[in-house]
Each structure stands twice: as C-alpha cells, then as structure tokens.
Structure 1
C-alpha cells in the first residue's frame, strides 16, 4: 500500500492559473476554490479552507496567491469588524486586481490531481489520494 505524504504549505502559495469559487458548504464551513483542467493545464488544483468564519472573495481569479495576512492587513480588516478567533488564521487572497479578498479559517489545504471537472475533491476523499500529483496543508 502506498503511503501519501502531505507537505506543509509554504506561503505565499502562488499559482499562475485560473481559479473559480467552486463551492461553500454552510453546514461544514468548507470553502473550495478550483482550477480545472484546460488546454494549458493538464491537472486540476483544489484550494480548500476549513472552519471558515469570514470571507470576501471574487467569483473568478486569473491567477491566485494565498498568504498569511500581514499585521497591517489584519488591522485594516479588524477596523472593519472582521474578527480572527483563537485557533483561526487570516489568509490574504491576491490576484490581478487589488484587494482580491480574504478568508478567515482554521486550516488550508491544496491538492493537484488528474481528476475531471465534476469529480469530488481528492482532499476530502482518502480513497482518491492515489490520483494526487501533489498536496499540502496548513493549520
């Protein structure tokens, strides 16, 4: 049996490919951003945030950079009423336009795999781990 190794995510995590806001499960507070297979990209990438308590996002990103928010960004959002509870992290989302967004979440995962458009995320399904090309987690 093949043991899958999951790497710690190093920030900023930047990917030069299009992403869409794919789903948000209210009951589980799980947010999924997805970049599907295209003519230029032979793999699919999922970015998943768990225990989401706040977010401001666009529906589409031309490229994406996920980073832990700077102190100044934390202060700016705090002044707008965005709270980061103990055990949560403030992730800054950047893209081709300024102020692309943020996510307050307990953890963050990514997985690159060879799966198709409508198939479930390999992050949530251990039985699909053999389809992953790379993966990582934080939190």
Structure 2
C-alpha cells in the first residue's frame, strides 16, 4: 500500500472549496523546520472529512480494515467507502473520504501560485516532484 509521508514540518488546511468538493492541505517553507519547499496534498470529490486545522507531520494512507471499521462505527461512513477513506495524520485520528489524493512539492515562495492551481500548466517549467497515494 502506497502512502505519502512528510515528518517534522507544519501543515495546515489551506483551502476547502465546498462547491467543487476539493481540500488542500499545505506546508510552506519554514526556517523553524529547515524546509525550503512547499508541499500540497489535494483531495478531490470529498464526501466527508474529520480534520484538524494544523498538523506537525502528515501521513496520508488508505485506512486499513480495522481503522476503517473504527471510523465507520464513529462517523457512520458506509462500508462502500472503505476504498476511499484516507487517514491523514501519523496517529490516524483524522481522515478524508475522497478520490485518490495527489501531492506536489517544489521550491516556492509564500506568495507564488498554489501548486494545485489548475489554470497553470502541469508539469511546470520549474523543478517539482509529484505523485498519488496508491490504494
């Protein structure tokens, strides 16, 4: 099972667009954690989410069966959503029911356009890394 992990950096819920059901969690470069890149994680077709406003690390992965049962019991997420329920923090307490998450990382200044600005060309002319969380 593939997952996306970034430890030791500050992430925050950057944008949620309810009309398009899109969530972006973002980490900007910071002297505090010694990072030079921006990281954005995109969730499309969001059906349900239980998220905190900030995280000190991010680990995005498909919820394993035991964790999905816990989420289903707690939040009433139906069994058919087990293949689209993603845990997003190292402790597994936050989750998003959505399409497969994607991530992008690149050197960006704070005021540069978002990495998931769909009006921009992709792949970009600058050096970047990107991928998806695999099921």
TM-score bracket for the superposition, by shorter chain length = 0.7 to 0.9
The alpha-carbon deviation at position 109 of structure 1 amounts to 0.7
Alignment of 1:13-92 (within 5 A): 13-16=4-7, 17-39=9-31, 40-80=34-74, 81-83=76-78, 85=80, 89-92=84-87
- Could you tell me how far apart the structure 2 residues matched to 1:103 and 1:118 are? 27
Relative to its length, the structure with more strand (as a share) is 1
Residue aligned with 2:125, SS: helix
Which of 112, 120, 127 lines up with 2:121 in the alignment? 127
Contact 1:58 1:100 in 2 (8 A): no
Cα RMSD, aligned residues only: 2.2
The alpha-carbon deviation at position 137 of structure 1 amounts to 2.2
Contact 2:45 2:99 in 1 (8 A): yes
Structure 2 unmatched runs, 5+: none
Tell me whether 80-89 or 127-136 shows the greater mean CA deviation: 80-89
- Could you tell me how far apart the structure 2 residues matched to 1:54 and 1:84 are? 14
Tell me whether 16-25 or 71-80 shows the greater mean CA deviation: 71-80
Distance 1:88 1:71, change over 3 A: closer
Per-residue Cα deviation, 1:62-112 (whole angstroms, up to 9, x for no partner): 1111111010111112223123656961101223xx443000001211000
Residue aligned with 1:20, SS: strand
Per-residue Cα deviation, 1:47-68 (whole angstroms, up to 9, x for no partner): 0100000000111111111111
Superposition misfits of 4+ residues, deviation over 6 angstroms: none
- TM-score of the superposed pair, with normalisation by structure 1: 0.80
- Could you tell me how far apart the structure 1 residues matched to 2:79 and 2:128 are? 32
Q: Which residue of 1 aligns with 2:94?
A: 101
Tell me whether 73-82 or 85-94 shows the greater mean CA deviation: 85-94
Structure 1 unmatched runs, 5+: 1-9
Q: May I ask how many residue pairs the two structures share in their alignment?
A: 128
